[in-house]
Amino acid sequence: MTTSPSDIDHQLGNDAQILWRIIQLCLHYRGRVLIAVGATVIAALFQLAVPPLLGSAVDGALGLLDTVSSAKSDARTTLFQTAALLLGVSILRGLFTLIHNYTGEAVGHMMANGLRLAFYNKLQGLSFSFHDRVHTGELITRGMLDLEGVRMFVSTGLMRLVLLTILIGAGSYLLLSADLILGAMSLSFVPFVAWKSAMARLKLRSLWLALQERMGVIGRIMDENLTGIRVVRAFGAENYELAKYGEAADTAMALADQRIKTRVASTTIMTFAYFIAMGLVLWVGGLRVLEGRLTVGDLTEFLTFMTILQSPVRQLGLLVNSFARASTTGRRLFAVLDLEPTIADRPGAKPLQIKDSLVSYENVSFSYDGDDGLPTLHGVSFKVQRGRSLGIVGPPGAGKSTIAHLLTRFYDVSDGRITLDGQDVRDVTLESLRRQVLAVPQDPFLFTTSLENNIAYGDPWAEDGSIVNAASLAQIDTFIGSLPEGYSTLVGERGVSLSGGQKQRIAIARTAMLEPAVLILDDSTAAIDAGTEQQIRELLKAPMKSCATIFISHRLRTLLHADEIIFLKGGRIIERGTHDSLIAQGGHYAELHFLQNQLDNELDNNPSSIKGAAQ
Ligand code: ATP
């Protein structure tokens, strides 16, 4: 079962509180933030110095038309000085822009890096009940895309806010104080463009979110298709899969089209509004020049201010978008970061002390859905200790693997208790418990690294000799030796593809590297042939003397030598005893034994009839 995002999200405060939390994270890099803000202010001031300089340069250039030679020469000098000043201001503005861009981006990246590590760390600690509920894709989206939204807030949100406030604020003041009417005309496009830009950005954002959601669906369809490619081909379902993919792709295309239309329309309208305002200023300003109330340089100054302001005003939309995005993505990211694992070390938890490796289940009941859910296990009790073994058998879904999950504290019991050498597993540190209780699952996971690294996963400093020993115990050393690159062979997409049985044997070798107090073999030889399983069992006899062993299997021959066998049905132990006593009881176990024996005999006596039936 997976959860909808709202199941993870909880009350985290309003948008302003989320943004303040991001700002506080930035303030860990106070020095750089100060440099970035300082450089932004200076760069903005230099940019505002350009229009007056251009204005006086134009007036200076007009002075060259003067017929009096001394005036002409003065004008030339003024022109050169202004041009030099303009060049200097432009260089300094460029320099400070560079500093503010670099430091602003750097702060964003440093903060994102810290968040990335914290997020990954959190995922390692969150309980299995959380991972059961939340889709992996959802977590990857939060840790990648949402984190990116928070990172971008620093450069596109905070730094831009400083820049735009100074440019628009100081620019408007300068224009209005120079000439109230002409200044108001020059600024007339500002409110409309700012509003239009913000609206367009918000619309683009909601379309972007919808598009992302669609892209997520497309990714999921592709992922499932590739993972289950054999099933798709076997059932000839290529056309069905193509239709499913095509439908998702068409919706994504429609959303992308809407985005393009929104962007083009808003850009055109904003440009139109800007040119209308510019036309007005040219008209009224031109009349004032003719009337001698304004110089050509003054008019140039107004027009240059308008050009400088145009881009920041349009960027107000980006600013609004950045704030909206950061509050949404920050909320989603912090929702995970603030979660507390339900399975964690209790205060004062001590490392597990092993004496006899005595595992004791005392009236254990458990439900995956908490107190309100249907119980998966009811009043399960058993004991097993060092050198002894317990076999668990039962129909699918009976709760066999659940028993194993509780011992490693992947989940906590709902009722009763589990102890190891008298210590409640909830009272010892998780690290010491999981170091001493090792389970080999039926469907083991191998990492995309060498076979050697996979085997030595629990003990990365293991010597080559122990890796080879573990591999031979798991009956996989001959196979590894036959590979051209031996133990260095890569596993996975870029390396060797392993069969289910080979993977299981690597997993057994991985566990054999360590010396656990309790070993759980959860159907871990189900994909291994009977002969190899028998050899592994023989070889495991020695290490099993130093630990308590729990076998979980559907195949009775895997566990018939166990010191005690329990038959589980519907989460309850309905039969228990040794193999012989259970056969004598003539119950479920005996019936299963009879059926499996019958099948084995048929196979031994007439293998072709079974094969024929299968075909
Ligand atoms: P099998 O022989 O098929 O491996 P099992 O006896 O090991 O089955 P469990 O895997 O322990 O059975 O599952 C017992 C019950 O608990 C099943 O009904 C299963 O659907 C449910 N269950 C297992 N894992 C979870 C989980 N993570 N969340 C919710 N329910 C679960």
Q: What is the pLDDT of residues 69-93, one digit of tens each?
A: 677 777 778 888 888 898 999 999 9
* Run of H or E including 552: strand 548-552
Ligand 1 pocket residue status of 93, Cβ below 6 Å: no
Distances (CA, A) of 289 to 53, 277, 283: 18, 18, 10
pLDDT given for residue 494 in this prediction: 59
Q: Whose CA is nearest to atom 27 of ligand 1?
A: 132
Q: How many angstroms separate the CA atoms of 299 and 279, rounded? A: 12
Q: What is the pLDDT of residues 542-582, one digit of tens each?
A: 778 889 999 998 888 888 889 999 999 999 999 999 999 99
Q: Whose CA is nearest to atom 30 of ligand 1?
A: 368
> What is the 93 CA–ligand 1 centroid distance (Å)?
66
The ligand 1 atom nearest the CA atom of 405: 11
Pocket residue to mutate for ligand 1, from 3, 134, 368, most atoms within 8 A of Cβ: 368
Q: Are 170 and 162 in contact (CB under 8 A)?
A: no
Sheet of strand 423-424: strand arrangement = 377-384, 359-366, 415-420, 423-424
pLDDT given for residue 2 in this prediction: 42
Which positions ≥6 away from 583 have C-beta within 8 Å? 589, 590, 593
Ligand 1 pocket residue status of 402, Cβ below 6 Å: yes
Which positions ≥6 away from 416 have C-beta within 8 Å? 361, 362, 363, 364, 365, 379, 380, 381
Q: How many angstroms separate the CA atoms of 324 and 559, rounded? A: 60
Q: Whose CA is nearest to atom 4 of ligand 1?
A: 396
> What is the 405 CA–ligand 1 centroid distance (Å)?
10
Ligand 1 pocket residue status of 576, Cβ below 6 Å: no
Q: How many CA atoms lie within 13 A of 589 on its CB side?
A: 26
Ligand 1 pocket residue status of 60, Cβ below 6 Å: no
Which positions ≥6 away from 478 have C-beta within 8 Å? none
> What is the 402 CA–ligand 1 centroid distance (Å)?
6
> What is the 400 CA–ligand 1 centroid distance (Å)?
8
Q: Which residues of the chain have pLDDT under 50?
A: 1-6, 609-615
pLDDT given for residue 3 in this prediction: 44
The ligand 1 atom nearest the CA atom of 568: 6
Which among 55, 62, 43 is positioned nearest to 82, based on CA atoms? Answer: 55
Pick the CATH number of 359-577 from 3.40.50.720, 3.30.1360.10, 3.40.50.300, 3.40.50.460: 3.40.50.300
How is residue 313 written in tokens?
Answer: 């005003």
Q: How many CA atoms lie within 13 A of 420 on its CB side?
A: 29
Q: Are 306 and 277 in contact (CB under 8 A)?
A: yes
Distances (CA, A) of 388 to 61, 344, 391, 548, 552: 102, 30, 10, 6, 14
Ligand 1 pocket residue status of 400, Cβ below 6 Å: yes
Q: How many angstroms separate the CA atoms of 595 and 301, rounded? A: 97
H-helix segments, 9-68: 15-26, 30-63
The ligand 1 atom nearest the CA atom of 552: 7
Ligand 1 pocket residue status of 555, Cβ below 6 Å: no
The ligand 1 atom nearest the CA atom of 398: 6
Q: How many angstroms separate the CA atoms of 353 and 550, rounded? A: 20
pLDDT given for residue 493 in this prediction: 64
pLDDT given for residue 312 in this prediction: 86
> What is the 234 CA–ligand 1 centroid distance (Å)?
27
Ligand 1 pocket residue status of 102, Cβ below 6 Å: no
Which among 173, 193, 179, 177 is positioned nearest to 285, based on CA atoms? Answer: 179
Q: How far is CA 130 from the centre of its chain?
A: 14
Ligand 1 pocket residue status of 399, Cβ below 6 Å: yes
Q: How far is CA 340 from the centre of its chain?
A: 17
Ligand 1 pocket residue status of 401, Cβ below 6 Å: yes
How is residue 410 written in tokens?
Answer: 């992947």
pLDDT given for residue 10 in this prediction: 63
Distances (CA, A) of 456 to 93, 432, 514: 57, 18, 9
Ligand 1 pocket residue status of 396, Cβ below 6 Å: yes
> What is the 131 CA–ligand 1 centroid distance (Å)?
15
Q: Are 466 and 513 in contact (CB under 8 A)?
A: yes
> What is the 399 CA–ligand 1 centroid distance (Å)?
6
Identify residue 454 by its one-letter amino acid code.
N
Measured over the CA atoms of residue 404, residue 408, residue 411 and residue 415, the dihedral's sign is positive
CATH class as words, domain 5-337: mainly alpha
How is residue 588 written in tokens?
Answer: 């479920």
Which positions ≥6 away from 133 have C-beta within 8 Å? 1, 2, 3, 7
Q: Whose CA is nearest to atom 10 of ligand 1?
A: 401
Ligand 1 pocket residue status of 571, Cβ below 6 Å: no
Which among 564, 508, 559, 557 is positioned nearest to 536, based on CA atoms? Answer: 508
> What is the 1 CA–ligand 1 centroid distance (Å)?
12
Q: Is residue 244 exposed (0-12), middle (13-18) or buried (19+ Cβ within 10 Å)?
A: middle
Distances (CA, A) of 361 to 265, 303, 345: 69, 84, 20
Q: Are 138 and 335 in contact (CB under 8 A)?
A: no
Q: Whose CA is nearest to atom 23 of ligand 1?
A: 402
Name the CA dihedral angle for 430, 434, 439, 441, rounded to a multiple of 10 degrees.
60
Q: Whose CA is nearest to atom 11 of ligand 1?
A: 399
Per DSSP, the residues of 371-423 read GGSPPSEEEEEEEE-TT-EEEEE-STTSSHHHHHHHHTTSS--SEEEEEETTE
Q: Whose CA is nearest to atom 20 of ligand 1?
A: 397
CA angle 570, 575, 579 (to 5 degrees): 130
> What is the 401 CA–ligand 1 centroid distance (Å)?
7
Which among 377, 434, 443, 378 is positioned nearest to 410, based on CA atoms? Answer: 434
pLDDT given for residue 428 in this prediction: 96
Q: How many angstroms separate the CA atoms of 153 and 159, rounded? A: 9
Q: How many angstroms separate the CA atoms of 147 and 22, rounded? A: 11
pLDDT given for residue 157 in this prediction: 87
